[in-house]
Structure 1
Amino acid sequence: MTSSDASPSVPAGPDRPDLRADCGSCFGLCCVALPFARSQDFARDKSAGSPCRNLRDDFRCGIHTRLRDEGYQGCTVFDCFGAGQKVSQVTFEGVSWRERPESARTMYEVFPVMRHLHELLWYLSEVLERPRARPVHREARRALDGIERLTRAGAGELLAADVSALRGDVNTLLLKASDLVRAEVPGRKKNHRGADLAGARLRDADLRGATLRGALLIAADLTGADLRFADLIGADLRDTRLGGADLTDSIFLTQAQLNAARGDRATELPAGLTRPAHWTA
């Protein structure tokens, strides 16, 4: 069977609004809880727990439309997978760190835990939307339901959770799903798992069904590459050239990865993900 015989495309972005950032329902947690260092991604240093100087009283970013121009490229590629609004509205019941300063430290500690959990929910939701992964759907549903319950727990239970163990268990399941989905592509697939491909020249490369899990692809040239059914979980796509590349049905691709890359209007994207505004025409 060739890729053209494949079943209809499925969304790489699960149809889960709760796993997409809703900054209007968040207390600006990514702008307060997380630290960043002055670099090409951030114009200034900021310590954890210290509000960014650009955070307004309404928890919105004062330079949101100019982040890249102002030297805050790192902010444009961060994705909390909806953890911000969950912590703000569920864990802390809509009471902000400004209203209740004594809760601030705990809120900041819970946020990255919730972010890890929501990322796992994102990947598990994609597994459940992949017909080819049906043999692991029951296992994926069980894992998803367990993590869903945990995300609704109190702050103490969230902070006590063994996130590393959870990630390990889910990763085993995601590997099974990846193998099932990539089997859509006949023949031997390329294995670049964890490879250092920074700056690599991969223009027009046939990477259908390849595994690029955790691969370092910083500034790599993937112009015109065929990445259909390629596993891209954890791949570092900062400044990766994706002009004209075909990412249709790529596996476990996130919006944050696309935001970090450099594509154009000819780049073919999976359903559910959007073309970043900064991509060239």
Structure 2
Amino acid sequence: MINTELFKEVSPLSSKDCFILIERQKTNFNFPIHIHPECELNFIENAKGAQRIVGDSIEEIDEEELVLVTNPHLEHAWKDYRNVSKNIHEITIQFHPDLLTDTFLNKNQMISIRQLFRHAERGVAFSRESIAKVRPLLKTLTCENDSFYSLIKLLIILHELSIDKGMRELSTGQFAANVMHQHSSDESLGRVMDYLSRHYSEVIRLSEVAEMVNMSESSFCRFFKQHTSKSFIDFLTDIRLGAASRALIDSSLSIAEIGYDCGFNNLSNFNRIFKKKKGVTPSEFRDNYRKNKTII
């Protein structure tokens, strides 16, 4: 069954980054159920009663929460549910699946981390004891200024979590296997995704993309919605917004220049769509993100 709320998050993490760390103080959970290709380690405190959704696992969380997801197609989200706290603290770390290569992970010293990543394809929640052990490292990581030491600290955190005997797999194996099969079996979708990721800054016509996979426009729209839970236009917009978000963080280009470079035809359209999707204007996003993000 396709989840109509499913949202493909576009991370500002680039191919040259090791990982991105985002620290937030927030009053509620408002991000939809989503997927993304990056591995994600998510720490939450002061949100007892919130609801965690990872695949087919739905649970109420405690005062502290630490979850790792390494499956690019495993949907996940946190929702308010019974949480009444207005002082939620969240630290999210995202890194590319190939940050640690297979050759490196096959070394004897990395066996436990390799096994951890396999378990985390279903999503794993860590024990209170492990959370207590890595909490100080997570918090010092948010203010580490040396990128090399930041990477070393992340490896230490992953090692400590990998030896947690109390970790629990969240989603069932069959559910995780099904979503992996569903998203890896269609070459046509892969061709479209690759094209969009390379040409998002240009004018992209639905008719041309449909012709690329030998479908009529109506058939392609149904096919695309079935496989992504989003319309073609919405999906392309999300890709453009992801690129714009990265540019707002990294570059000193003006808001208008970034909008045009990312495929938006005018500044007012860019501002309107960005605020609708992100909840803030591009200018506000740039200011807010620079206050609470670290990219290594």
The interval holding the TM-score normalised by the smaller chain is under 0.3
Per the normalisation by structure 1, the TM-score is: 0.27
Per the normalisation by structure 2, the TM-score is: 0.26
**Structure with the higher fraction of residues in helix conformation:** 2
Higher relative contact order (CA 8 A, sep 6+): 2
